[in-house]
Structure 1
Amino acid sequence: MHDFTGKTAVVTGYASGIGAATAAALTARGATVIGVDRIVPDSAPPVARTIVGDLSTSDGVRSIADAVDGPVDVLINNAGVAATQPWRTVLSVNTLAPRDLTRLLLPKFGADAAVVTTASQAGFQWQRNFTRADAFLAIDDWDAALDSVAGLPDIDRLCYALSKEAAIVYSGALAVEGKQIGLRSNTVSPGTVGTPLLPDFTATMGAAVIDGAAAWTGRHAAPEEIADAIVFLASPESAWISGVDLPVDGGYGAFVFRTLVAPALSAAQ
């Protein structure tokens, strides 16, 4: 695996779960890791520097960006919340925060920087819902953006999928826009992962969905397995990969497509 010695990496949501595994993996490979989180427990992995901040507000994101010293070589937009939180919080933390943090850090990026955003297999319909997600992302003001989707039916339930669809759409746009400055942007879409958020996903998505995925794959993923994919996409070993959403789900997404989506497509033809 690539040596990140001399490189600076910012990892949001670094104190637990996938973020902790990613911060630890980058640190072990020599990176100077700046860990960002709302609360930093004693169990958080050791990093070079910690920024305690709030990614649920526009002002909070700006404060975090202001506290980051450049140059930044790697940005891991990993912080996220489940739909057990209010829908405005879900879309703020999962979509608007990574969008704005990335924008604010652009002037601080070093040459050949990489951005990796943790999306989700819940966002697998991003192409079908591209227009809605793209329109949401086009609104700079957070309140106005959130108001634009307030009337969607069942927004409390759909907010998580929408947040991850939009995260994937934004990453693709960033890959196109960043080409001229050598910036790469990709997303990783995990399936079910054994993190502290798993009970929240079970509560919002249902035990049948979460347990069913684990039953088919044989288990939930370990955070380190998702971190390995994130670190790979952050490294020069993936220098020709940009604008990609990488499923890391043990093949469960392919199973869902073959058994549910493909038959529906065939029936519609």
Structure 2
Amino acid sequence: MDAAQRKIVVVGAGSGIGAATAAHFFERGDHVLAVDLRASETPASQHLRCDLRDAGEIAALLDRIGGGWDALAHVAGVPGTASTEDVLGVNYLGMRLMTEGMLPRLRRGGSVVAVASTAAVGWQLRTDVLDGLLAARDAAAVQTWQAVQDPAYPVYSTSKQAVILYAKRLSGPAWSRYGVRVNTVSPGPVQTPILADFEQSMGADVLDAVRSAVGRHGTVDDVVPLISFLASPEARWINGQDIQADAGYLAGLLAGVPIQVWSHSLRKLGATLYCKNYSKVVQRRRPPNPCWSQP
């Protein structure tokens, strides 16, 4: 392997942002392991299949690939049209198990970049609720937790809120023990094969409002460079951050810019009317970190 070549695992490499991410790294000369539920033709050095709903498959994959990796780009996710079990199992728990398993397999100076979503808006207001989800370490416990939650709250938003909160809480221990950074990227609506699913689950009016405000939906080319940067040594001092890639839509909304969005649309997006008072939220004292366990 060339000295400049890096070894990168891309999970969710079959289509959309994940496929574009894998192709980006591969085309610049990196060794890329493309992981997806199904076989794909994504440009990569190696392809492996893995069902993120199955902890056993994740463990087997990790055993197979060994160590010496430079970065994990965890892009896999399913929309809110999928079952509750799949949304939480893939978007949150699968990401968590893959990340925890990869930490000892990454070189010092390595990076984990997980894709969340702007649908996670308001996660800071739900940390007490999300604590219970982060304490659940297997599929059965996750579903037990979900069974007593507000059925009106979008599960997709919950799953991505958990991704952000988990990554932030993990970032310190990952850095101190492994020298690995953990960050998240939160895209707004992106033109991918599952955009229609998001229109169905969130409401076309929500996505239309975002597009109207910023001029268009995002593309994979708007998101991949950010993932690439966070995975690179150039981002060596960036850790525990969630970076939104939505042309500034959410930043403007939370800062009080008069963007016309219906309150029910905000609800579907995962926000609440607390948005206008967002800056007044006071961080409460957190309990001991439930995210970290010794690998």
TM-score (ref. length: structure 1):
0.92
1:125-171 CA-to-partner distances (Å, cap 9, x unmatched) read: 1111112223211222221122112121226x511000000000111
Q: How does 1:5-44 map to 2 (within 5 A)?
A: 5-41=4-40, 44=41
Distance 1:206 1:77 in 2: 26
Match of 1:87 in 2: 84
Structure 1 residues 207, 27: closer, same or farther in 2, change over 3 A? same
Distance 1:196 1:235 in 2: 27
Letter in 2 for 1:15: G
Distance 1:187 1:211 in 2: 25
Structure 2 residue 172 is matched with structure 1 residue 173: no
Distance 1:6 1:111 in 2: 16
1:109, CA displacement in angstroms? 1.2
Structure 1 residues 91, 262: closer, same or farther in 2, change over 3 A? closer
Assess if the C-alpha contact under 8 Å between 2:36 and 2:49 holds in 1: yes
1:230, CA displacement in angstroms? 0.4
Match of 1:125 in 2: 122
Structure 2 residue 220 is matched with structure 1 residue 231: no
Q: Flag as ranges the 4+ runs of structure 1 deviating above 3 A.
A: 259-268
Structure 1 residues 8, 146: closer, same or farther in 2, change over 3 A? same
Letter in 2 for 1:70: G
Structure 2 residue 161 is matched with structure 1 residue 162: no
- Tell me the secondary structure at the aligned position of residue 128 of structure 2: helix
Assess if the C-alpha contact under 8 Å between 1:5 and 1:32 holds in 2: no
Distance 1:72 1:220 in 2: 33
Assess if the C-alpha contact under 8 Å between 1:193 and 1:222 holds in 2: yes
Identity among equivalent pairs (%): 37
Assess if the C-alpha contact under 8 Å between 1:134 and 1:170 holds in 2: no
Assess if the C-alpha contact under 8 Å between 1:58 and 1:97 holds in 2: yes
Distance 1:16 1:86 in 2: 20
Q: Which moved more, 1:135-144 or 1:181-190?
A: 135-144
1:32-65 CA-to-partner distances (Å, cap 9, x unmatched) read: 1000001124xx3210000111112222222222
Structure 2 residue 182 is matched with structure 1 residue 182: no
- Tell me the secondary structure at the aligned position of residue 123 of structure 2: coil
Structure 2 residue 247 is matched with structure 1 residue 250: yes
Assess if the C-alpha contact under 8 Å between 2:70 and 2:111 holds in 1: yes
Structure 1 residues 4, 245: closer, same or farther in 2, change over 3 A? farther
Match of 2:215 in 1: 218
Structure 1 residues 265, 129: closer, same or farther in 2, change over 3 A? closer
TM-score (ref. length: structure 2):
0.84
Match of 1:66 in 2: 63
- Tell me the secondary structure at the aligned position of residue 22 of structure 1: helix
Assess if the C-alpha contact under 8 Å between 1:5 and 1:29 holds in 2: no
Distance 2:48 2:223 in 1: 23
- Tell me the secondary structure at the aligned position of residue 187 of structure 1: strand
Q: Which moved more, 1:128-137 or 1:6-15?
A: 128-137
1:72-128 CA-to-partner distances (Å, cap 9, x unmatched) read: 110011100001110111001000011111111222111211000000001121111
Structure 1 residues 183, 191: closer, same or farther in 2, change over 3 A? same
Distance 1:168 1:104 in 2: 18
Structure 1 residues 263, 31: closer, same or farther in 2, change over 3 A? same
